[in-house]
Amino acid sequence: MHKQLHAAVLVVCLFVTSLLRAAEPATVEQWGLHEITLQGPRDGNPFVDVRLAAIFDNGSRRVEVDGFYDGDGIYRIRFMPDEQGRWRYETKANRWELTNKTGELNVTAPSKGNHGPVRVRNTYHFAYADGTPYKQIGTTIYNWLDTPDEVQERTLQTLAGSPFNKARMLITQQPNPFMAKHPPSRWPFAGRPPRDWDFTRFNPEFFRHYEKRIGQLRDLGIEADLILFNPYGRWGFETMSAENDDRYVRYVVARFAAFRNVWWSLANEYDFLRTKTEADWNRLGRLVQQADPYDHLRSIHNGKEMFDHGKPWISHASIQNGVAVQSAASAEIYRDVWRKPVVYDEVRYEGDASYRWADLSGQEMVHRFWCGTVGGTYVGHGDYFHSLGNDTWTSFGGSLRGQSAPRLAFLRKILEQGPAEGLDPIDLWNDPDTVGQAGRYYLTYFGHSAPTGWTFQLYKRGVVDGMRFKVDVIDTWNMTITPVEGEFVTRQKDGYHFADAEGRVVSLPGRPGMAIRASYLGGAKASVDANAFIDPNAPPEKKKSLR
């Protein structure tokens, strides 16, 4: 449906722009993609010589959007309107054929399933622009767009049946044995591999193909976390001049930014790319921020050296550190450092590799997702079972072979049933295994321990006597949610905790991977703000109660 709509919009646009100042404005939905197509010069090198932009104005805001050259004398400007109603536009270019073109756009309500781009929400979490919570369950398919079309189609089918709502993928290619058998049919630059490139000319066909796939991911509800640079390969991409790097970034942003499901990842394993400095990354990051009119999420992913995610151009931390999600206690630490969402995009992959970065059991993959979740963070998945025909999911897409995906679907369902604001530590730096929203929702994960019971107990913040809770026992691997019979009623136990008035204990099966969910049902309600400041100068009994 989206594709049809998109095609329809294109037709209308072509019509409008060919008439100029046509009476009938084009129509596009909010957060949809509107494209203006213009004919312009094809002499010289239009990628370098021609500057084109449009200013969109809805009477209260102006948005300036860069256009790009798409080859064959065709120029395009893409716009993702973020408000409904009438927008007017006017182009600016350093060529007479392209400048001062005007038109109007009628922006309608978003269609079903279109919630806009994902934004940071509540400091540590994400939501779509329309307010719908976004609970990130990511996966990794680095080179799926360099595979034969049949594999790409199969990848989309697999994704459609998977829990994943984000996929990380490279833009420039990673060389590898599979590629020797199936060389990529498109490259981002004019010229020939391995090193005969013209970095001043892009290959529009490469980008058109990439855009088709971004749009298909969008229609599946999947965010495309696009990796602009990577340390793999010696195609020459890694030693481009700063000028060529900047032009590449601007071109990618001009083409892709109007897709609402785009995220920018400056690099994968940035520190393994020994031909760029931290100053380069900060320049490129700021460039993306400045060039992207829609302020899509921006990150950079580390190898062995942590980037300073405190930098203002970074919207969220994109971390590789598998050991950090072996416990919720360590998972939560990065949150407070940067006060931004933390996404563990690489925590080792589920797989059967002899490399230890791809040898996790399904259980361990699921465990790491739960540790990340209970640490108030988000995790990414990889599936690395090598086969001759298929290589691996994480390198090339195709089919999943691991066992974690259904369990991650189960986790996603639990997250989507949980508080819209996201899950935050309830008793920071004291009880790392419990996350939720004080007084309303609690999720406790027992990890590798295998308790046979759990005494109902809640940290005092947001809790008073007489609150009623229901409790569910969750088996994270067997994917069961078992309600505990009856209700639990809070009664203060000591200076820190409330227990059940009757001291009830929840039975647990003595298996690892169990969790408890406690949800507020009714009864008394805490009258104080759950996050109220507790004065350090209050009497000693109360003074340290924040801790």
Binding site for a second copy (CB under 8 A): 175-177, 231-234, 269, 272, 274, 303-306, 308, 310, 321-324, 326-327, 329-330, 333-334, 336-337, 354-357, 428-430, 432, 495-496, 533, 536-537, 540, 544, 546-547
**In the complex, what is the shortest distance from the CB of residue 348 to a second copy, in angstroms, rounded to a whole number?**
9
What is the closest distance, in whole angstroms, from the C-beta atom of residue 303 to a second copy in the complex? Answer: 7
Backbone φ, ψ for residue 413 (5° rounding): -65, -45
Query: Distances from the Cα of 347 to the Cαs of 142, 240, 533, in angstroms?
Result: 15, 30, 36
Query: Per DSSP, what are the bridge partners of residue 515?
Result: 445, 474
> Shortest approach of a second copy to residue 381 CB, angstroms?
18
Contacts of 506 (CB under 8 A, 6+ apart): 453, 454, 455, 456, 471, 473, 484, 516
Which one, 510 or 536, has the nearer CB to a second copy?
A: 536
CB-nearer residue toward a second copy: 15 or 429 = 429
CB of 137 to a second copy, least distance (A): 22
Structure-token pair, residue 119:
């934004």
In the bound state with a second copy, the residue whose beta carbon lies nearer, of 330 and 492, is: 330
SS3 category, 451? coil
CB-based contact 186:244 (threshold 8 Å) = no
Number of H helices, E strands in the chain: 13, 33
Give the C-alpha separation, 26 to 385, whole Å: 48
> How crowded is residue 456: how many other Cβ atoms within 10 Å of its Cβ?
22
> Distance of alpha carbon 200 from its chain centroid, rounded?
30
- Name which of 165 and 326 has its Cβ closer to a second copy: 326
Question: Residue 372 CB, nearest distance to a second copy (Å)?
Answer: 14
Closest CB 500 distance from a second copy, rounded Å: 21
SS3 label, residue 508:
coil
Q: Which tokens is 335 given?
A: 């949150």
Nearer to a second copy by C-beta: 337 or 524?
A: 337
Nearest-CA neighbor of 342 among 378, 371, 299, 380?
378
Q: Nearer Cβ to a second copy, position 257 or 324?
A: 324
Rounded to the nearest whole angstrom, what is the least distance from the CB of residue 333 to a second copy in the complex? 5
Choose between 387 and 482: whose C-beta lies nearer to a second copy.
Answer: 387
Residue 233 or 419: the one with the smaller Cβ distance to a second copy is: 233
Per DSSP, what are the bridge partners of residue 360? 350
For 32, the token pair is: 């949809």
Min separation Cβ 268 and a second copy, Å: 10
Triad 446, 451, 452: Cα angle to 5°: 140
